[in-house]
Amino acid sequence: MPETIVLDLGGVLIDVDYTASAKAFASLGFPDFDGLYTKARQTDLFDRFETGELTPDGFRDAVRGLLGKGLADADIDRCWNAMLGTIPPQRIELVQRLKQRYRLLLLSNTNAIHVPAFEAIIARDLGIADFKALFHGAYYSCELGMRKPNAEIFQHVLVLHGADPASTLFVDDSIQHVLGAREAGLVAEHLELANEDVVALVERLGLLG
């Protein structure tokens, strides 16, 4: 059994439809967004936004430069946030149970437009005003200035908590992040969403007895 569990956010806890943003941009007459951003790969623009190198205004200006200058800030935010779903209550219950037994951490590649959007969704749907308080530590790439799958982000977070990589389980639905975690010395499980969700994975691994 691990001593520490690190969970991803998008796909693992919060439902994400990566095609929804492309469809939203297409509805405004910009059909090529899915060539710039998918779950498996993205252009440097999105990497820079996820590490905080780009501000929200810088990101919006870059999107306008790629797709069209007629896009208003509100349109860009609405389309970009369209991919965000909610967290089913049973996953919140799972987080609460895991936190009682393990050092529980959250590590997400995300950005300064998505963060307030998904925190508002969680507050609205689940009545949770402080999402980060569900974990012993919760970390967003845009706040750390680094992102998965680079080994440095895993090492940084574990050092903050005095956690041993070999006794740490990392769960992510993106295989490239799982491979990065393994290279950093963590035990990592790839959550294949076509086959199971995180509740089923935890049950399969026997993490709650």
* Domains of the chain, residue spans: 4-16+86-205, 18-81
- Per-residue pLDDT, 176: 96
- Per-residue pLDDT, 41: 53
Mean pLDDT score, 183-196: 97
Q: pLDDT band for position 162 (50/70/90)?
A: very high
Which range has the worst mean pLDDT, 44-48, 75-79, 159-163, 178-182?
44-48
Residues in the chain: 209
Mean predicted lDDT score pLDDT of the chain:
94
Q: pLDDT band for position 32 (50/70/90)?
A: confident
**Alpha helix segments (H runs only) across the chain:** 18-27, 44-50, 56-67, 73-81, 89-101, 114-126, 141-144, 151-160, 175-183, 198-205
Instruction: Give yes or no for residue 170 having a pLDDT over 70.
Output: yes
Q: Angle formed by the axes of helices 175-183 and 151-160, to 10°?
A: 60
User: Could you give the count of Cα atoms lying within 13 Å of 164 in the half-sphere of its Cβ?
Assistant: 6
Same-fold call for 4-16+86-205 versus 18-81: no
Instruction: Give yes or no for residue 39 having a pLDDT over 60.
Output: no
- Per-residue pLDDT, 68: 74
Q: pLDDT band for position 40 (50/70/90)?
A: very low
- The span from the CA of 199 to the CA of 180, in Å, is 23
- Per-residue pLDDT, 156: 98
- 18-81 CATH, one of 1.10.3720.10, 3.40.50.11540, 1.10.150.240, 1.10.10.10: 1.10.150.240
Candidates 120, 138, 122; CA nearest to 77 is: 120
CATH fourth-level superfamily of 4-16+86-205: HAD superfamily/HAD-like (3.40.50.1000)
Phi-psi region of 104 (alpha: psi -120 to 50; beta: other; left: phi over 0): beta
Mean pLDDT score, 177-193: 98
- Per-residue pLDDT, 31: 82
List pLDDT tens digits, range 57-105. 999 998 888 887 788 999 999 999 999 999 999 999 999 999 999 999 9
CB–CB of 196/88 below 8 Å?
no
List pLDDT tens digits, range 119-160. 999 999 999 999 999 999 999 999 999 999 999 999 999 999
pTM reported for the whole predicted model = 0.94
